[in-house]
Amino acid sequence: MSPMENNLITPLEGMQSEVAELMARLNIEGKAAQISELEQQTAAPDFWSDSETAQKTMQEISRLKTEVEHWTSLRDRVNDALELALLEDEGINAELVIEAEALHETVERMSLQALLSGPYDFENAILAIHAGAGGTDSQDWGQMLERMYLRWAEQNQYKVEIIERMEGEEAGLKSVTMSIKGDYAYGYLQSEQGVHRLVRISPFDAARRRHTSFTKVELWPDIQGEIEIEISDKDLRIETYRSSGAGGQNVQKNDTAVRLIHIPTGLVVSCQNQRSQTQNRERAMQVLKSRLFEMERKKRDDQLAVLKGENVTAEWGNQIRSYVLHPYHLVKDHRTLYEDGNTDAVLDGRLTPFMEAYLQAKVNSRLLEPAADLDA
């Protein structure tokens, strides 16, 4: 067997098999057929009589076409590269090596996306952070997590909309709710829902003692217009208040912020980032519907901990991940056992390895229960 065969043919054949398996798992052939069926619907004379339904159909066609084209293009590139490798033409070896390396990276990335095959993994996400046990330290920890997710979103070209933010009395924040917009935002961020634990020397303790703080992260798919949930006026209490800001022109002079309380479930949703009370109420209603939709879906599927996780308190024993800054540096996920000693990089947004480990463990049914870990 020639060096070329050793170096290229075997890995390319492996990629060919992996892509075929992933395409079968994702039912790419069935999705191509679905595109044809939907395109036939668009040819009907009355297709645009219901513009809202028509737009949703066109969006679905576009989404499916993008997915199918990505996978068929990758399959064709691997097949073409393998055919060239089998020719054993030394003249094209250098270019083929570069193409094989590029294909390897692409297959790895697409393999990860194949793990994001849940019905709402492709959607935008609503992420909320709530300070828990630990007082001012916990509120400061909440702000550190907010920055971490903002940096992760920036590094991965996601857009962020702050829906509501409540600052702490001395430092940090009590809670923040944000919408993170972009492909697979919900799918990637599902690894983050749960209690996050911080161990450090407290900057708020004059005696410089070590403190442990807890903050809870919640997540819902932000599917807005697709949710058909009726909310009765008698089940809703609406409160208005003045939006908080950094001062000056940023502070609203009127009560434009809106808080919705859903009486039957006790869910509370606030929004203060829009320009008017009406806009804040509309956005708060979208978030409330997303949360109610999530609750109903969990009841129906009997999978209470799959998407948002159990309604645990932000305190000792329930953490999914620990961030230790003293007496050593380590970030450890207690469900996957993945860890990273570069705590600065993680807190600066390097979360993708944790997300990948979570997705792999979830697919392989190897997730461990959140638990206290005295060592990390």
Per-residue pLDDT tens over the stretch 246-285: 443 444 446 789 999 999 998 999 898 887 888 898 888 8
Name the H helices within the chain: 3-4, 10-25, 28-42, 51-87, 93-115, 135-155, 185-189, 277-301, 343-347, 352-363
**321 against 118, higher pLDDT:** 321
Q: Which residues contact 337 (CB under 8 A, 6 or more apart)?
A: 368
**pLDDT in the model for residue 330:** 98
Which pLDDT band holds residue 52 (cuts at 50, 70, 90)? confident
Q: What confidence tier does 91 reach under pLDDT thresholds 50, 70, 90?
A: low
Fold classification of 3-115 (topology level): Methane Monooxygenase Hydroxylase; Chain G, domain 1 (1.20.58)
The CA-atom distances, in angstroms, between 101 and each of 12, 78, 107, 336 are 10, 11, 10, 29
Q: What is the mean pLDDT of residues 298-324?
A: 61
- pLDDT number for residue 306: 47
pLDDT at 46: 94
Taking phi over 0 as left and psi of -120 to 50 as alpha, with beta for the rest, 97 belongs to alpha
**pLDDT (0 to 100) of residue 165:** 92
Residue 111's pLDDT is: 85
pTM of the predicted model as reported, rounded to 2 decimal places: 0.70
Residue 262 is predicted with a pLDDT of 93
The distance from CA 33 to its chain's CA centroid, rounded to whole angstroms, is 29
* pLDDT at res. 367: 77
pLDDT at 341 exceeding the cut of 50: yes
With 90 as the cut, is the pLDDT of residue 127 above it?
yes
Q: Domain residues of the chain, as ranges? A: 3-115, 123-376
Average pLDDT, the chain: 85
CATH no., domain 123-376: 3.30.70.1660
pLDDT at residue 254 in the model: 64
User: What's the distance, CA 41 to chain centroid?
Assistant: 33
> pLDDT tens digits, residue range 176-230?
999 999 988 999 999 999 999 999 999 988 888 899 999 999 998 887 655 667 7
Structure-block tokens of residue 340: 């990273």
* Region 72-83 average pLDDT: 95
pLDDT (0 to 100) of residue 226: 58
Q: How confident is the model at residue 290 (pLDDT cuts 50, 70, 90)?
A: confident
